[in-house]
Amino acid sequence: MTHGEPEGSRAGGLGAAQLGGGEHTGGTLREAVPGLAALTAATFVAITTEALPVGLLPQISATFDVPESTTGLLVTVYAVMVAALAVPLTVLTRHLPRKGLLVGTLVVFTAGTALTAVAPTFAVVVVGRALGGLAHALFFSLSIAYASRLVRPEFVGRAMSFAASGVSVGFVLGVPALTALGAAAGWRVAFVVLTGLSVLAVGLVLLLLRPVAAVDPAPPESSGDLRTRRRRLAIVTTANMVTFLAHFTVYTYVAVLLLAAGATPTAIGPVLLVLGAVGLLGLWFAGATLDRRPRLSALATLGAMAVGLLLVGLVFPASVPVVAGAALWTAGYGAVPSVTQAAALRTHAVSSDVAGALVNATSNVGIAGGAALGSLVLRSGEVGVLPFVGAGIVAVALVVVLVARRAFPARP
């Protein structure tokens, strides 16, 4: 079959075009659903692996007799690995088969989680987290580009939201459920279960995900010259980094914050479940608007985060109002991955893989910086200051989006 020949009748395919070696180009959203579902499952595992220590900081700290501020740096170690390696690994592996590479990252995720579950010392936990960070560095770079290549350009926003639902489901179900399990049965049990879920995700990707070519279509003439496109990409990734910095300055220590607001240890999991569930509202909003009004998506997302964090700071330590403010904050954050990924891809500045790597790297610079900044604030003994710091940083990202109209255009 020649390059670009229609293949709408092939059962189970993407219904667009098939390249040599069984690789497919983009089709409709409906045709891409099996592959997007597999990516969603893999993303669920990846984000749960990354965020699970957030809800289990007190238990892990108690096991190894280390301060919670030190245990929180497990998030920093993971994020530093991703920030440092996302772009180099993506460039080095750009000629390898996309599907096989994606499966390989999930296998490394599984190994890192299993090592963490049986770690005899805190140092071994750090090694397990470093393995997870290594896998994560390549996984999200691959998955962002993969989702965009499963569909035609007019469906990219919705495909991003579909695949990114794994992030929200991770926060809605994965992290809260495993946090509750860890509180009841021990944090090691939670990591054992996560290891099993990782194995399941490998199977789903092998079964459902079609191979794709590492080839992007030429950028539209209206997108401007290369220098202009790269400047827009730099603005998008900067806004992304600042947003993640704001979120993880507070979210890394959300369990500590909730406990200081009067929550019991057994209530942390259910509260995280509620916060993750409202994140789905943000994801729904992104899916409904990204292919029509992407600028509105970005402004509404960051506005909700800023107002929610400010409310948390103002009402702290009243537990119910704190949760209400956090719900608004996390609803806004639920849309962030889809908004920034779609904006980066639509700059047409670099290949989809490299755009994904830059989003991945800057996200984790923000995560690492947020965890470190939050740790410094905690060491000052003022946990109630955290939400104000986060709100101020989100406001910076909001200003960037307001000013950069071409990087965040009204229409895709």
pLDDT at 224: 64
pLDDT at residue 151 is higher than 80: yes
pLDDT at residue 265 is higher than 80: yes
In a domain, 266, yes or no: yes
CA distances from 41 to 128, 202, 309, 319, 391 (A): 21, 9, 29, 33, 31
Start-to-end Cα distance in the chain = 32
Q: How far apart are CA 36 and CA 60, in angstroms?
A: 34
Q: Report the candidate in 331, 356, 40 with the shortest Cα–Cα distance to residue 167.
A: 40
In a domain, 9, yes or no: no
Domain count, the chain: 1
> Sorting pLDDT into bands at 50, 70 and 90, what band is 19?
very low
Of 6 and 276, the one with more pLDDT = 276
Q: How far apart are CA 66 and CA 76, in angstroms?
A: 16
CATH number for 199: 1.20.1250.20
Residues with Cβ within 8 Å of residue 7, at least 6 apart in sequence: 1, 13, 15, 16, 17, 18, 24
> Sorting pLDDT into bands at 50, 70 and 90, what band is 17?
very low
pLDDT at 104: 95
State the average pLDDT over residues 5-11.
Answer: 33
**What are φ and ψ of residue 120, in 5° steps?**
-85, -20
In a domain, 17, yes or no: no
**To the nearest whole percent, how much of the chain has pLDDT over 90?**
43
State the average pLDDT over residues 346-372.
Answer: 87
pTM as predicted? 0.77
State the average pLDDT over residues 193-218.
Answer: 86
pLDDT by residue (tens digit) across 92-119? Answer: 988 888 899 999 999 999 999 999 999 9
**What are φ and ψ of residue 212, in 5° steps?**
-130, 160
Owning domain of residue 40: 22-215+223-403
Report the amino acid identity of residue 112: G
State the average pLDDT over residues 128-150.
Answer: 88
pLDDT by residue (tens digit) across 171-194? Answer: 777 887 898 899 889 999 999 999
Half-sphere exposure of residue 168: CA atoms within 13 angstroms, side-chain side = 27
Query: Average pLDDT over the chain, rounded to whole?
Result: 85
pLDDT at residue 402 is higher than 90: yes
pLDDT at 57: 82
Q: How far apart are CA 16 and CA 7, in angstroms?
A: 6
Beta pairing partners, 6: 17
CA distances from 222 to 148, 230, 235, 342 (A): 20, 14, 18, 17
In a domain, 231, yes or no: yes
In a domain, 83, yes or no: yes
pLDDT at 1: 36
Report the amino acid identity of residue 165: S
> Sorting pLDDT into bands at 50, 70 and 90, what band is 3?
very low
pLDDT at 222: 55
In a domain, 273, yes or no: yes
**What are φ and ψ of residue 11, in 5° steps?**
-65, 135
Helix 336-345 and helix 352-379, axial crossing angle in degrees, nearest 10: 140
In a domain, 15, yes or no: no
In a domain, 259, yes or no: yes
Residues with Cβ within 8 Å of residue 270, at least 6 apart in sequence: 176, 180
